Amino acid sequence: MHLIPDTWPHFHMLVSVFPSVGLIFAIGLFIAAMVTNNAPTQRLGLFVFGGLAVLGVPTWLSGIYSESAMTRPGIPEGEGAAHTFWAYAALAFLFLTGITALLVLWRAIKSGTGPSKNMQHLTLGLALFTLLNMIIVGEMGWEISHQELKIPYVYGNTSQVWSHIHIIINHFPTVGFCFGLFFLVVGLVQKNVVMERSALVVFVCCAVLGATTYVTGASAMWALTSPPIPAPFGPISQARINAHRDFALLTLFGLAFTGVTAWIEIYRYRYQHRFSQKTLYVVLGLAVITFLIMAETGHRGGLINHPEIRAAGDAMTQDAATFLSPQIEILINNIIYFVPWQTVHFFGYTAVFATVFVVSLRIFGVWKSMPFSAVHRIIPLGVFGVAANVFTGMLMLMADTSRYVNEAAFWPKMFFLPIGAIAVLYFSLSDRLWATKAGESAPMQAKWVAALVLFSWTVVIMGGRLLPYLFV
């Protein structure tokens, strides 16, 4: 496989995700640095903004050279014009953000402190405005080569909305891991707890989004193959899809191991006020392995519908049955395998809901005689419940993907799953909530988060139970 790009469109697709999707992670780090008032992390955030602006140059140039490659049959005349127009605006704001960030960084280094509050807000405001532009540009960009997204929904078929969401969301774990690894390595070198903690949070969020990515990918498979996409954008090779999803399954395992190990360190920090250096290096190792698997997964995904990145030497079997995923599908359809994993899934969500319910009730004011730190001890049970359910849920999904993804209760389940799982992180990260002693009320902010978490998991479980009964 040719991971290193040898054409301009290939290079453009790879580099352009950093100033767009990467900007979200850079903004996240900068906000974490602002909230914790950690000067070294604020300086790292400014450096990352500057770095993304530098990456804007190859994005811009590769975009210009890629225009000549837009000769693929089926792309309407002038399709890229709006993308190009908005790209110049987004790049202009990106450069402005980068230059401002580097100037603020230079002044901060000269004065030996962090940037002033005003400068922090200015840089953050510019970055957020750039992100808004990047969202528009990105959306117009991937619509150029993905004309299949415009196929209208026909009753009985799988909607192309799934393919659309998959194209967007799959970049979060991949780009997120680049940033997570960078933050973790810098944090380990500088022995900076905020950077290390930010990296761990990124890994956990990416792991959660990995599950959503896998599910939307499985849905996209049906949207692209049943019925087949007409020429010139189809038919899509089932063998290419299977090659991609075999690696996607490996990625899911890698993300789960990295995410759970990272979460254990976030948990440890709450009680011991330090990380285990050994475990941080384990997280680093797992993240590197997962990132390598993810790079191959992403490349195989790109090959599905981007003939411009296929190299002449790429060998690809045309026999769709030779891959692992179809064999797992056959196996899991046997009740002897399906029912035991389904039973584990039911135990998993009872553990998740019990955890969420107990923690939320304490936050709402029940069992006030207990400090929050005591209630927090139950959270590992919920985290392992989520991990078990991601694994068992994927197996159950593989038994009958087409039916599950076309049930009316499936999309709210999949929408609230990442929200509920990521919001739980707040319980382990908020210093104000952690300081809630016996007899004290939790902060109002925590009550809102608890309500969101409780609502999300209620929808996830109800959605699951309603799956067999609500058809689109």
Partner 1 sequence: MVALKLWAMTVVVVAVVACLVLFAVNRLNKVADGGEK
The 3 state secondary structure assigned to the chain is CCCCCCCHHHHHHHHCHHHHHHHHHHHHHHHHHHHHCCHHHHHHHHHHHHHHHHHHHHHHHHHHHHHHHCCCCCCCCCCCHHHHHHHHHHHHHHHHHHHHHHHHHHHHHHHCCCCCHHHHHHHHHHHHHHHHHHHHHHHHHHHHHCHHHHCCCCCCCCCCHHHHHHHHHCHHHHHHHHHHHHHHHHHHHHCCHHHHHHHHHHHHHHHHHHHHHHHHHHHHHHHHHCCCCCCCCCCCCHHHHHHHHHHHHHHHHHHHHHHHHHHHHHHHHHHHCCCCHHHHHHHHHHHHHHHHHHHHHHHHHHHHHCHHHCCCCCCCCCCHHHCHHHHHHHHHCCHHHHHHHHHHHHHHHHHHHHHHHHHHHHHHCCCCCCCHHHHHHHHHHHHHHHHHHHHHHHHHHHHCHHHHHCECCHHHHHHHHHHHHHHCHHHHHCHHHHCCCCCCCCCHHHHHHHHHHHHHHHHHHHHHHHCCCCEC
Q: Which stretch binds partner 1 (CB under 8 A): 113-121, 147-155, 261-269, 284-292?
A: 261-269
Would you count residue 268 as binding partner 1 (CB under 8 A)? yes
Would you count residue 340 as binding partner 1 (CB under 8 A)? yes
Q: What are the distances in angstroms from CA 355 to CA 262, 350, 363, 365, 369?
A: 19, 8, 12, 16, 18
Q: Which stretch binds partner 1 (CB under 8 A): 63-71, 329-337, 358-366, 420-428?
A: 329-337
Q: Which stretch binds partner 1 (CB under 8 A): 71-79, 132-140, 174-182, 330-338?
A: 330-338
Would you count residue 330 as binding partner 1 (CB under 8 A)? no
Of residues 35, 81, 321, 335, which one binds partner 1 by CB under 8 A? 335
Nearer to partner 1, 192 or 261 (CB): 261
Nearer to partner 1, 167 or 375 (CB): 375
Would you count residue 341 as binding partner 1 (CB under 8 A)? yes
Min separation Cβ 264 and partner 1, Å: 7
Would you count residue 267 as binding partner 1 (CB under 8 A)? yes
Nearer to partner 1, 170 or 355 (CB): 355
Q: Which stretch binds partner 1 (CB under 8 A): 135-143, 206-214, 332-340, 462-470?
A: 332-340
Would you count residue 339 as binding partner 1 (CB under 8 A)? yes
Nearer to partner 1, 221 or 425 (CB): 425
Q: What are the distances in angstroms from CA 380 to CA 238, 267, 383, 427?
A: 39, 8, 5, 12
Q: What are the distances in angstroms from CA 464 to CA 300, 377, 393, 411?
A: 31, 27, 10, 10
Min separation Cβ 337 and partner 1, Å: 7
Would you count residue 435 as binding partner 1 (CB under 8 A)? no
Would you count residue 429 as binding partner 1 (CB under 8 A)? no
Would you count residue 253 as binding partner 1 (CB under 8 A)? no
Min separation Cβ 90 and partner 1, Å: 44
**Residues 377 to 416: which contact partner 1 by CB under 8 A?**
377, 380-381, 384-385, 388
Nearer to partner 1, 346 or 357 (CB): 346
Nearer to partner 1, 381 or 435 (CB): 381
Min separation Cβ 407 and partner 1, Å: 25
Would you count residue 264 as binding partner 1 (CB under 8 A)? yes
Would you count residue 343 as binding partner 1 (CB under 8 A)? yes
Min separation Cβ 381 and partner 1, Å: 6
Min separation Cβ 273 and partner 1, Å: 10
Contact code string over 276-305 relative to partner 1, x by CB under 8 A = x-----------------------------
Would you count residue 333 as binding partner 1 (CB under 8 A)? no
What are the residues binding partner 1 (CB under 8 A)? 264, 267-268, 271-272, 276, 335-337, 339-341, 343-344, 347, 351, 377, 380-381, 384-385, 388
